[in-house]
Amino acid sequence: TQLLEQSPQFLSIQEGENLTVYCNSSSVFSSLQWYRQEPGEGPVLLVTVVTGGEVKKLKRLTFQFGDARKDSSLHITAAQPGDTGLYLCAGARNQGGKLIFGQGTELSVKP
């Protein structure tokens, strides 16, 4: 079974705090995507990482792909209430389009 372990599953923090979400696997991925989803809406793509060791920044969000392309992290600096949502990581393994999803991190940022 291909697994992508995502942690933590739930995170409730105050505005202004920093946080990190992790996705770990024993399998190598050809690429990995991070999405943010609000209730009742579709997942919105935040970033795709493809190169081992790659770091990408999107305003206060920093994404890293592990050197061996088996793990990834999302770091949010100075979280804001607008960051609240379900964060999903999803890895691809050149298998005809199938993505392996993490279980998701439900983030709540309180003002």
Letters for 81-100 (x = contact with another protein by CB under 8 A, - = none) are -----x-x-x-x-x-xxxx-
Question: Residue for token digits 């379900």?
Answer: 86
- Check residue 46 for interaction with another protein (CB under 8 A): no
Scanning 17-25, 42-50, 56-64, 75-83 for contacts with another protein by CB under 8 A, the matching segment is 42-50
Size of the site for another protein (CB under 8 A): 27
Scanning 12-20, 25-33, 55-63, 73-81 for contacts with another protein by CB under 8 A, the matching segment is 25-33
Cβ-based nearer residue to another protein, 10 or 16: 10
Closest to 29 in 3D by CA, of 81, 93, 76: 93
Cβ-contact 43, 34 below 8 angstroms: no
Beta strands 31-37 and 44-49, pairing class: antiparallel
DSSP structure class, residue 82:
G
- Rounded Cα distance, 101 and 90, in Å: 4
Q: Which residues contact 78 (CB under 8 A, 6 or more apart)?
A: 16, 17, 18, 60
The least distance separating another protein from the CB of residue 80, rounded to whole angstroms, comes to 21
Q: Which residues bind another protein (CB under 8 A)?
A: 30-31, 33, 35, 39-45, 48, 50, 86, 88, 90, 92, 94, 96-99, 101-104, 106
